[in-house]
Amino acid sequence: MVMMMLKGNEATAYAAKVAKVQVIPAYPITPSTLFPEKVSELISNGEMKAEFIPVESEHSALSAAIGAAATGARTMTATASQGLALMHEVLFIASGMRLPIVMAIGNRALSAPVNIWAEQQDTIAQRDSGWLQFYAENNQEALDLSLIAFRVAEDKRVLLPAMMGMDAFVLTHTMEPVDVPDESLVEKYLGPPEQKYPTLNPSQPSTFGAFVFPEHYMEFRYSQFVAMEHSKKVIDEAFEEFKNIFGREYRKVSGFMNEDADILLISMGSMTGTAREAIRKLREKGEKVGLIKLSVFRPFPKEELVEITKNARIVAVVDRNISIGFAGAIFTELVASYNNIEKKPKILNFILGLGGRDIRVEDYIEIYNRAKEAENRGVKEIQWINVDEDAVYEVEGPL
């Protein structure tokens, strides 16, 4: 291992290096551009052996990745926001063809209005695309979860592509010390980049992504559904093996000061550490509050989330995304996870940090205070934090 000072994009580039990724088709977009820059640099100065394919769009980047992965090459790319949106139709092709591509995402808001800053809407909007989704809290996690993503994606019981999300700028452009593991250890963890699954092979011709009639299509889709369900166990195994080899522990769902908490906050991504700081401050004042961190959104870890939240009185779900017309994604899926369970906490949704609005310790304290109000009286189920509601009501009329 070697400790390096790395930005989030560089950490994922080093993940590609130590994972011995063989093909990297990429098209630059803010805030992901540093990824293609860094891997190009590593390849050109001889530190990394991989084919870098500069393409003309994100649609082509993922299409080229599909071609590469279909030959059995370990394949990685990176994008963000509009770039991921442009890939939309190709995402389904990658997962439908069961190709274990890993993609690092600089989580960024979508236009319009144009905005290049942190928000998880871009990946959340792709939650139905059949890709696994991991979310990093810091740059070490961005590197580690990229490796874990390969391990899970390439597992024969899964064979699905994976996204690894890290918030724009807050991680992609922030420099932190990162432990870059030895390639030999990573090879032990991932196995060599060899053909582990059926691939295009001239000596054994086969067809991928072919035309399928109604009598067979559903079985392909059900296969994906089953594989994603199986990935839950595979992810746990991958986390366990990662801890054994590299010493760092990951869970789909992890708790902080949650054991005796009356009120639990749920957070995913770069703002989780800020939330922990808020929890510490509130605990110092004697408040019984805890934090649940979500590192995996697809598959949605509903069993673990229900288990860890069921004894709380109130669960405040923090979403850095919003499905206009309903609610934040984590909230929606947590509520659905409690389907057919009688005893459930009161679940509230707080929307914050869209388009890079800074998420501060005091925002979490505000969330806690509002959640606490719900103990004694009815409060709005979905609340937006740190937003100028009056300015909006003036134009749109009050809510």
Contact residues toward another protein (CB under 8 A) are 3, 5, 116-118, 138, 168-171, 173-177, 270-271, 273-274, 276-277, 356, 358-361
- Min CB(90)–another protein separation in Å: 28
Taking the CA atoms of residue 180, residue 181, residue 184 and residue 188 in that order, the dihedral angle to the nearest 10 degrees is -140
- Whether the Cβ atoms of residue 268 and residue 253 lie closer than 8 Å to each other: no
Name which of 2 and 341 has its Cβ closer to another protein: 2
- Min CB(271)–another protein separation in Å: 6
- Min CB(63)–another protein separation in Å: 29
Give me the DSSP letters along 50-88: -EEEE-SSHHHHHHHHHHHHHTT--BEEEE-HHHHHHTH
Closest residue by Cα to residue 14 from 142, 169, 133: 142
Name which of 290 and 356 has its Cβ closer to another protein: 356
Name which of 75 and 270 has its Cβ closer to another protein: 270
- Min CB(356)–another protein separation in Å: 6
Name which of 276 and 298 has its Cβ closer to another protein: 276
- Min CB(143)–another protein separation in Å: 16
Q: Please name every residue paired with 166 in a beta bridge, in sequence order, or none if there are none.
A: 106
Name which of 176 and 187 has its Cβ closer to another protein: 176
- Min CB(269)–another protein separation in Å: 9
Closest residue by Cα to residue 297 from 129, 45, 118: 129
d(CA 99, CA 69): 6
Name which of 24 and 116 has its Cβ closer to another protein: 116
d(CA 154, CA 196): 7
d(CA 379, CA 192): 54
